[in-house]
Chains A and B, each alone.
Chain A
């Protein structure tokens, strides 16, 4: 046996355990979801049969799907720019020599390590009508009592705020690392040229942070479609689906109604969205991002 063949056998033997698990729990279920989305849900006396695009037609006519989609887009539009903006602001602040810098950094980072399911309980209390913390503050300023999580108008905002709180400190870490990697000589040169601090940030620091922004953006988009822990605790998708997001709807259809085929079709939509993110990342943004 020649060297090349031995190397190939060795290589694949080393990869085997990891590849087997990935195939079983990532590749296969992704393909199976696609196949199942064209089948009917097997019931006790009716095995699954091919139904073509029926599940997708059902989806097009399903108001809750469109509601979940719209909610998810609003949720993304609310969380992504705000958490990235706050993260950048936090990073610039704790990169300077401000008072209590270490403590401030730690404060920003705490939501990242706290279990979302645990802190969601506390946020639930903040939003509680009548005696919750938010109510007490609003009442102190003479405002009206609001059922933040129980009202169609405010529930989605409430869960969006919690998501921003969870994410901003996490993204800050990446911006902080990137800011510290910018050579100090650039700042010195800009100061000699007489550039204002704002000009230095806008013309030098911000462009150099673009790769980080790209990385953070991709993460933020993926998170916007997967962050549902606090929805379980705070609203369970309610009131009247006002906070149902795509993944939560998949959970409801798959494990609440046991309509696995329809859940598979919804999963395919989610995977398609993620594939789109990947495509934008590798194709379009990558070329427009200025690297050092």
Chain B
């Protein structure tokens, strides 16, 4: 009983007759590694520029001295501490609301039989096709009307009801055996108690997977936060980094690379720690 459908584990111990051997394997490995090197090149370059003095930004000498100076200069040049705090508040707020709203809606769609359920489901799924980015003009107007522009809740509000999250949780809740539900009800549990005691604990893998996808998406989101924020107090990291790197102080690539690494560090570290879960959560997200 494992939440959403899970991809089968890689083939067993039986030998794969089409596994490449000899020269073919060497060629394939070489190609794969070359492509991998191109793919990490931007990150590798950022690391190089960030840990060397500015005069080595474009000169790749192995004996170049190492320094952490670029990080301290970047940290001092913009209120990154505030940006980190804002981003942290933002992703936590969005995730918390997404989980609560998603759980309630998914439970209704998965296990309640009521009038209008199919229409409601169709209305929710419509969000999968209409991307929020297309509606920036109208959403800006709505938030301006209620005086929320330049606040963190304004960045969060359009995203707290997530069709994707509701869909994912609904699929998971549908796999929970009906007997468990009935047993809890016989014990006298209310519908909300059944939800909290039976469904939510069983859907834990889905919650973790969805949480990873949501946090990485909103940590990286840029266009909407750029539009709704215009002060340090509400700007998340992505917008802060952009303001910082396009300022008039001349382009200092070493400092920009240091700032870039700082901005991405929490996600990169998270990725290294939860590599398997990350990859699996993206896979699960795709399999309908």
Q: Which residues of A contact B (CB under 8 A)?
A: 4, 7-8, 10-12, 14-15, 17-22, 24-30, 32-33, 36, 86, 89-90, 93-94, 96-100, 103-119, 121-123, 125-126, 131, 133, 136, 165, 169-170, 173-174, 176-178, 180-181, 184, 187-188, 190-191, 197, 200, 212, 215, 222, 225-226, 228-229, 232-233, 247, 250-251, 254-255, 260, 263-264, 267, 270-271, 274-275, 277-278
Contacts and interface: CB of A to CB of B under 8 A. Distances in A.
Nearest to A165: B39
Interface stretch (B9-17, B65-73, B179-187): B9-17
21 contacts: A8-B114, A12-B120, A14-B105, A25-B157, A27-B126, A29-B139, A90-B35, A98-B20, A98-B32, A98-B33, A108-B35, A110-B43, A118-B241, A119-B42, A122-B43, A125-B253, A187-B17, A190-B17, A225-B131, A247-B133, A251-B227
Nearest to A198: B18
Contact of B123 (A19, A90, A112, A136): A19
A107 B191 contact: no
Contact of A93 (B31, B43, B286, B288): B31
A19 B31 CA distance: 49
B203 interface: no
Given A109-B279, A184-B16, A278-B129, A115 B114 contact: no
A131 B39 contact: no
B16 A25 contact: no
Interface of B: 7-12, 14, 16-20, 25, 28-29, 31-33, 35-37, 39-40, 42-43, 45-46, 49, 58, 100-102, 104-105, 107-109, 112-117, 120, 123-124, 126-127, 129-142, 157-158, 160-161, 163, 166, 191, 216, 219-220, 222-223, 226-227, 237-238, 241-242, 245-246, 253, 256-257, 260, 263-264, 267-268, 271, 275, 278-279, 282-283, 286-288
* A interface SS class: helix
Given A250-B137, A251-B136, A26 B127 contact: yes
Given A29-B138, A122-B42, 6 more contacts: A26-B135, A184-B16, A197-B20, A251-B223, A255-B137, A274-B131
Nearest to A233: B242
Nearest to B141: A260
A116 B131 contact: no
Given A12-B114, A25-B157, A30-B130, A115 B45 contact: no
- Chain A to chain B: the 8 pairs with minimum beta-carbon distance, closest first: A29-B138, A191-B17, A11-B114, A21-B161, A107-B36, A14-B108, A177-B283, A18-B105
B267 A274 contact: no
Contact of B39 (A17, A108, A116): A108
Contacts of A19: 105, 120, 123-124, 161
A206 to B, nearest CB: 13
B87 to A, nearest CB: 10
A250 B134 contact: yes
